[in-house]
Structure 1
Amino acid sequence: MLIARRYFLSKKKRNIISIISNISMIGVAVGTMALIIVLSVFNGLEDLVRSLYGKSDPDLVVTAVQGKSFELQAPLLARLTKTPGVALVTQVIEDNALLQHRDRQMVVKMKGVSDNYYAQSDIDSSIVDGSHRLRRNGTDYALVGAGVQHELGITLDNRFAPLRLLYPRNIQKKTLSFNPETAFNEQSILAGGVFLIEQHIDDSYVFVPLDFAENLLHYGNRRTALEVKVREGYDISSVKNKLHQVLGKSFKVLDSDEQHVSLFKAIEVEKMFVFITFAFILLIASINIFFSLSMLVIDKKKDVAVLMAMGASSRNVRNIFLFEGAIVALVGAFTGLVLGVSLCWAQQTFGLVSMGMATSVVDSYPVKMKFSDIVLTSVAIIVITIAVSIRPALNASQLDVRENL
């Protein structure tokens, strides 16, 4: 270790070996810094997605294991509401429907919710125009996403041009009449408010009262989901386990992340591929360590021969050059970690890099540092350092003493 440090700190001459070592350190530092920053950005985006969907997502959702709907019997609802930790249960009917306004039309996700929906959802804070109430003075109103409003040119509370929602008749029997006048159920409703949550929701969702959706879809007492609000002070995962026990195997209970499992899996997969890509970049940067160590072995043949003649074992010699490669890599890695963490902190605190979009829900790129990312990056650097250092170190340990004295 002392000899390796001496080789690293030696200033007798600035030859090609020291230049390559410095290039190696700079490459490892830049790669480490970039990896920390990119992983932190992915963490920030993941948290941003959670916060955006949190405005409309319930704590837990109960759905059927098979089929898209289930019969909601009074005993089932009673068992659910009496489960410890359950504060509120909202009934939901959700399905695709054709939305028409004047001479325009589009397929939307119609979501019918019971009257207690706003007691558990923060969607009212996302209203950008109109009111969030679905029923006012005995009149039903619909909440439309900003993208839906823009696509159809919807004006609020327009009694002369209400929204028309159409749904195929006999869809459960998988038969459809060829007569357009009898092929669809149709109901009209006024647009009462516009919400802005997240592009996917804004461009496709329309919220309506539960009985409106029930009549349009002819669902009767069937529901597509039950949204559960967990009582304050209770752990969501423990309440989820209790609901599993109460409801049995015919139902599945999903927490917030599980409701968007495909989206979060996509983020995780992208994060994994980014990590692999930057790990390869680190490997390429660390190849310079291989060349610098190989040249150092050639340059120090006589020193190695003297050490071995004095009793140093092949293992001692090998460790000298392994430590030399480790010092070069760790100095670069530590510098990169410090720079990466500092830049992420500055972005979190001051928002140095903006999103560059006037319509963005956040002003600057979201970042979130995780200790696990730092550990993972450190492990990758250690593995890469060993991989590129072991061959030159073995070559040094196999030098012939007689030929080099």
Structure 2
Amino acid sequence: MNVPFLIAWRYFRSKKKRNIISIISNISMIGVAVGTMALIIVLSVFNGLEDLVRSLYGKSDPDLKITALQGKSFAVDSFLLQRLGTVPGVGLVTEVIEDNALLRYHERQMVVKMKGVSENYYGQSDIDSAIVDGDHRLRRNGEDFALIGAGVQHELSIALENRFSPLQLLYPRNTPGKRTLSINPENAFNQEPILAGGVFAIEQHVDDSYIFVPLEFAQRLLKYGNRRTSLEVNVTGRSIDEVQTELKQLLGEQFQVLNSDEQHVSLLKAIKVEKMFVFITFAFILLIASLNIFFSLSMLVIDKKKDVAILMAMGATPNTIRRIFLMEGAIVAQVGAVTGLITGVTICWLQQRFELVSMGMATSVVNAYPVKMQLSDVVWVGVAIVLITITVSIRPALNAPQIDLRENL
């Protein structure tokens, strides 16, 4: 029988303590409950945002992306493509040339991300399902066409398949050994015309900056020849991690093979770091709310001096007395934590099920704040509450056995 727990539970359940100690204990439980609820909700929102980022970029991201470890581009030949194709699980390998370029239309211009892709690109990308106007094909009847983001079209007021005013893409000319610029600035750029064939809408960041063109067009504009900025790999029949490991071994240290998360490592890391700082901030708020436990236990120790004296006279050790008050603090904290946890999980479930809180923006890609509950968050919140409870309860518990028996019996 756990005597310290039974005594602590009786103190907690005592109905006659409609006094300041009871009030402070109730305030402590409410503070812990509200803090725990807020922590669970905020962490779940960050989890939802992380999944939302993955889903948005997943529409245009390859399963694996091969890039050079050093430099912007690397040479690609049929032998390299053949070696990649022999790896089990590699379905398609798309050649990509991607770089910034100046896009000019009529009197307007802007810098865009130009992505040149080989003909098999649609075999591994769902971008064709994101077309909102025009045709998704980059090459029709021997003629090149560009896919432009909805934001790019809006910025430049581009009309599709306008043969009288095609898009003009310009890229700085790289002339080895030549350091001086021409008097005519246009001579410093390679320039190629292309018709806009379709408009896509994936995600605002992509829509506002990207255009897709045929690989051959990008080769001509950038004068890349057999060089590519990346190779995009579609994985079928095996796990992405297994194929990634084999490709790293095959290609060696000169290349890096990135999965979807690693392609956006900065953005996802920023979300994780922000989530960590939010957790720390709310943990401190929870600690401040739990200080009421310290005050209520300190007052309870004073109020129960006679009980402590009687227990010690009956043979209770100082360690037993300390455990009683530690248990009392733990009960107060855990009741508040469990209440807050149940409330927080319920609110998150209601948000997932009924989308109670909207994003409040007409241009948002989702109607309501995304939330996702994870067991690890509950575990970390539990660990934080245990540490906080020990921190605020240990001092009153240590003071409890330090009484004069003769004065209190």
**Both structures adopt the same fold (TM-score exceeding 0.5):** yes
Q: 2:323 aligns with which of 296, 299, 319?
A: 319
Aligned letter for 1:196?
A
Please tell me whether the aligned partners of residues 5 and 327 of structure 1 are also in contact (alpha carbons under 8 angstroms). Answer: yes
Aligned position for 1:142: 146
Aligned letter for 1:271?
K
Aligned position for 1:205: 210
1:185 aligns to 2:184 (yes or no):
no
Taking the aligned partners of 1:379 and 1:142, their CA distance within structure 2 comes to 54
Taking the aligned partners of 2:140 and 2:181, their CA distance within structure 1 comes to 36
Taking the aligned partners of 2:148 and 2:330, their CA distance within structure 1 comes to 59
1:283 aligns to 2:287 (yes or no):
yes
Deviations 1:62-95 (A, max 9, x none): 0001101001122111101111110000000001
Aligned position for 2:220: 215
1:229 aligns to 2:240 (yes or no):
no
Aligned letter for 2:142?
G
Written as runs of structure 1 = structure 2, the 5 A alignment for 1:107-126 is 107-126=111-130
Written as runs of structure 1 = structure 2, the 5 A alignment for 1:5-404 is 5-170=9-174, 175=179, 177-178=181-182, 179-231=184-236, 233-404=237-408
Q: CA RMSD in A?
A: 1.2
Deviation at 1:175, TM superposition (A): 4.0
Which range moves more in the overlay, 176-185 or 324-333? 176-185
Deviation at 1:177, TM superposition (A): 2.2
Identity of aligned residues (%): 75
Aligned letter for 1:276?
I
Q: Structure 1: which 5+ residue stretches go unaligned?
A: none
Deviations 1:190-214 (A, max 9, x none): 1111111112111111110000000
Deviation at 1:402, TM superposition (A): 2.3
Aligned letter for 2:249?
Q
Aligned letter for 1:116?
N
Aligned letter for 2:359?
M
Aligned letter for 1:2?
L
Deviations 1:301-345 (A, max 9, x none): 111111111111110000000000000000000000101111111
Aligned letter for 1:194?
V
Taking the aligned partners of 2:390 and 2:382, their CA distance within structure 1 comes to 12
Aligned letter for 2:190?
N
Specify the SS of the correspondent of 2:400.
Answer: helix
> TM-score, length-normalised on structure 2?
0.97
Deviation at 1:353, TM superposition (A): 1.0
Q: 1:227 to 1:403 in 2, by over 3 A?
A: same
Taking the aligned partners of 2:319 and 2:227, their CA distance within structure 1 comes to 74
> TM-score, length-normalised on structure 1?
0.98
Specify the SS of the correspondent of 1:312.
Answer: coil
Q: 1:264 to 1:90 in 2, by over 3 A?
A: same
Q: Structure 2: which 5+ residue stretches go unaligned?
A: none
Please tell me whether the aligned partners of residues 142 and 206 of structure 1 are also in contact (alpha carbons under 8 angstroms). Answer: yes
Q: 1:260 to 1:175 in 2, by over 3 A?
A: farther
Aligned letter for 1:168?
P
Q: 1:69 to 1:173 in 2, by over 3 A?
A: farther
Which range moves more in the overlay, 312-321 or 190-199? 190-199
Please tell me whether the aligned partners of residues 134 and 143 of structure 1 are also in contact (alpha carbons under 8 angstroms). Answer: yes
Q: 1:145 to 1:80 in 2, by over 3 A?
A: same
Please tell me whether the aligned partners of residues 60 and 254 of structure 1 are also in contact (alpha carbons under 8 angstroms). Answer: yes
Aligned letter for 2:319?
R
Taking the aligned partners of 1:172 and 1:113, their CA distance within structure 2 comes to 27
Taking the aligned partners of 1:68 and 1:237, their CA distance within structure 2 comes to 25
Aligned letter for 2:257?
V
Deviations 1:171-192 (A, max 9, x none): 6768462331310000011111
Taking the aligned partners of 2:255 and 2:93, their CA distance within structure 1 comes to 15
Deviations 1:262-308 (A, max 9, x none): 00000000100110111011001100000000010111111111111
Taking the aligned partners of 2:39 and 2:353, their CA distance within structure 1 comes to 20
Deviation at 1:226, TM superposition (A): 0.1
Specify the SS of the correspondent of 1:397.
Answer: coil
